[in-house]
Amino acid sequence: MVNRFIKIIITTLVIFTGFNAYAAKIAVTSDRTEIQENESFTLEYSSDSSVDDEPDFSPIEKNFHIISRSQSSNIQFINGRLDRKTTWVLVLMPKATGKFTIPAINFGSDKSGAVSIKVTKATASKSTKEDLVYIEAFADTNSAYVQSQIIYTLRIFHAVRFRNASLSEMELSDKDANIEKLEENKKYSKFINGRRYEVFEKRYAIFPQSAGRLTIEPAVLDVQYIEAMRTLRNKRIVSDKITVDVKPVPQVIKNKNLQYWLPASNIMLEEKWSGETDDLQVGEPLTRTVTLTAKGLLSSALPDLSTKFPVKGLKHYPDQPSLDNKIVDSGFVGKRQEKIAYIPSQPGRVTLPELEIVWWDTQKNKMQKAVLPAREIIVAGGANQLSDGSMDNDQAAKSIAGDTSISTNQVTNETPATGPENINIAGVSKSVWFWVSMLLLLLWAATIGLWLNARKDAGQSGSTVPKDNREPLYSADGIKAIKAACDNNDPHQTKEALLAWGKLLWQDSPPTSLGHIAERVNRQLSKELQKLNTALYKPGVANWDRNALLSSLQKYVDEQQKKQKTDSSRIKPLFRIATNQ
């Protein structure tokens, strides 16, 4: 009976929402936007809803060969919602050099976006007829500044299929350098001297911490493959050693006595306001959002801006900063965003001082400044402020979230008009609310039906949700795995255990590196994670303290436990970490 009831409700909702059909959104992405004329690349189209018709890819063939194409669909029913994603993947090879735009592709009446591709001439290759396997390793610069970004690329070319292959870990002369992986490993094809090679590419961003000569030791590849006549061959290939001259902080920056050092290729400072700054009432909240974006730096390296926010005459309520790292072709783009709600406490004119960020332009080798000019706020008297011009926590939270509609008591002597035009408007409003109410009623009934059905299924089969998944922070299995890895003094095993724990804790945006976890935890744990990250690339050098890592992890978990706002009856005893003395 419950199932029949659910079918009726779903059918009704489908009929009701069928009138609100809209065009499908089709996303298009390329694994690379700059290639050489003899290289292949992958183009992917995806849609979360049904498209009008099969795609017409013929416009692409004007400038590119379509090497292969494939299509896949993925359907999931999550939390009572049907998710469907269809993906079309094309492998393309350019016909000529130059800058090209892959035009919007028609999917019937639906349409994708366009993509720009730059095709350059092929570079000279070391390959000879005997080189079935070889390595290229290079940095994007031979001179950099301390703590600035260096892009290191390693490419493995092979015209044979490997049976076994192993690649050495990266090793640097700067033991404290920060190493971050750039995107997933890439695979593509390239024709060299008439021979087709499969290319495996890895890219890293290196942030040196010491001035001097930085050496990236050669990568060593041991492979086993079958040659002609089915002969099994073993081969070791070694890449070139890479050196980069790392320069210290320039004296002109040292003379500024700054609390930070920002070597980047570009830095932008922007602000947004939730309302007008020249028409503000006393007690009326106004939210300021300041965003600092740096090309060639991680967000964790960007300075705290909140010290510039306090202003006399304005109550201020800062929010937690938001940190984000984006990966582009040129490396990392770090972004730090800070929000603060201002509440005028008295009428008059208030001046927000100029906000200046000094940084070093690594492209032009000179000091630059990103500036937000001073701004004047005009405050009129108001009868709605509290005695001290402040607001409660709920008001501050609403203001920071962008909801500045703080309710006030208003008195009016106006009498509502009763003409025919106003009566019609009221009738339309009531009609709209009637249908909205009916839709909400149907959704409520469907929810009840699904809940009853879920309880019935649960009673038959039992719960399938692992206990630790409901409380990932206190996952005993996750903590035990980390402790076991630390006991073995194995940095790689510890990294994998931490990533597994992190993916359970941040399921909406799972971390893919220790650096991602370090950005989300407190300073003490972040510092220990950075030491572990360094140890991963220094074989045989034990420069990480497993006991300190476990201790800082325990303190972080304890801090988060205190912040939990769930019913105390649902919080289980925390799994304690025992460190080795």
| 82 contacts 13 by C-beta, under 8 angstroms | no
**Mean of the pLDDT values across residues 165-176?**
91
Whether the domain at 23-120 and the domain at 133-247 fall into the same CATH topology:
yes
**Which of 77, 75, 72 lies closest to 46, judged by CA?**
72
Minimum mean pLDDT among 260-269, 297-306, 510-519: which range?
510-519
**Which of 136, 275, 102 lies closest to 219, judged by CA?**
136
Pairing of strands 232-238, 220-226: antiparallel
**Mean of the pLDDT values across residues 132-138?**
92
Helices (H), 123-270: 251-254
Distance in angstroms (rounded) separating the CA atoms of residues 451 and 458: 10
Q: Which two tokens stand for residue 325?
A: 């790292």
Average confidence score pLDDT of the chain: 77
**Which of 102, 38, 47, 25 lies closest to 67, judged by CA?**
38
Pairing of strands 115-120, 34-36: parallel
Instruction: Pick one of 2.60.40.10, 3.40.50.1100, 2.60.120.260, 3.40.50.2300 as the CATH number of 133-247.
Output: 2.60.40.10
SS3 at position 541: coil
Question: What is this structure's pTM?
Answer: 0.53
CATH class of 23-120: mainly beta
pLDDT digits (tens, 9 = 90+) for 283-338: 888 888 999 999 999 999 999 887 777 888 788 888 889 999 999 988 999 999 99
pLDDT digits (tens, 9 = 90+) for 440-496: 667 766 666 666 565 554 444 333 333 334 355 556 677 888 888 888 888 888 888
CATH architecture entry for 261-400: Sandwich (2.60)
pLDDT given at position 455:
53
Domain ranges of the chain: 23-120, 133-247, 261-400, 468-570
Distance in angstroms (rounded) separating the CA atoms of residues 314 and 391: 12
Distance in angstroms (rounded) separating the CA atoms of residues 419 and 280: 35
Between 32 and 323, where is the model more confident?
Answer: 323
Q: pLDDT over 70 for what percent of the chain?
A: 72
